[in-house]
Amino acid sequence: METSLPLLGQPMPELKVTTTHGEMNLPGDMKGKWFVLFSHPADFTPVCTTEFVAFQKRFDEFEKLGAKLIGLSIDQVFSHIKWIEWIEEKLGVEIKFPVIADDRGEVAQKLGMIHPGKGSNTVRAVFIVDPQGLLRLMLYYPQEVGRNMDEILRALKALQTSDNNGVAIPAGWPNNELIGGKVIIPPAKDTTAAKTRLSEHEGYDWWFCYRDL
């Protein structure tokens, strides 16, 4: 099966999957909602365990943003179930989100999660999909490096803020070194607007103006 890499702004590929919560169709079953699909290399591995706990610790924050979490690895569903039981029993954390059992590797191939030199395991990929089923953000980490879930939350908030307000989001928002929690106004589209931009908004130049939310 050929490995492909989806492109930002395109529809998420149609996927029929088996999960720890039963059968799902993505993105169809998530229509009208944001969701975060993330892969991990394997069950019963230390880094992946820390990631699952970290995602679950932020479960309510994702829910408040109207976003669902969905995990995935190339393991069978019974392995997922046993690992989730182990996490609850040994670490006291109940995993509430579904985990896709991609034991044939079909989903991983469609989404470009199998990288050369990494065997058959998936890399640590993250896909944020919007309510229209469009892929809005992708992150890829190697097996050796665990992810920062606060950054994934921040990116989701930034996407939603950009969509809702027609603005761009600066680096490190809402704690940007130059403009703090303010957001960037789209640049002027003609010379008249460029000349008046700084009289209407805060900014360093007509092409770099910003405002409060």
209 is an active site residue? no
Q: Which of 12, 26, 30, 48 is catalytic?
A: 48
Those residues with Cβ within 8 angstroms of residue 148's Cβ, 6 or more apart along the chain or in another chain: none
Determine the Cα–Cα distance for residues 15 and 22; give it in Å rounded to an integer: 14
Those residues with Cβ within 8 angstroms of residue 93's Cβ, 6 or more apart along the chain or in another chain: 52, 53, 56, 57, 87
Reported as half-sphere exposure (CB side, CA atoms, 13 A), residue 159 has a value of 24
Please give the C-alpha separations between residue 121 and each of 40, 112, 133, 148, in angstroms, as whole numbers.
8, 12, 26, 20
Neighbouring C-beta atoms of residue 101, cutoff 10 Å = 22
Q: Which positions are catalytic?
A: 48
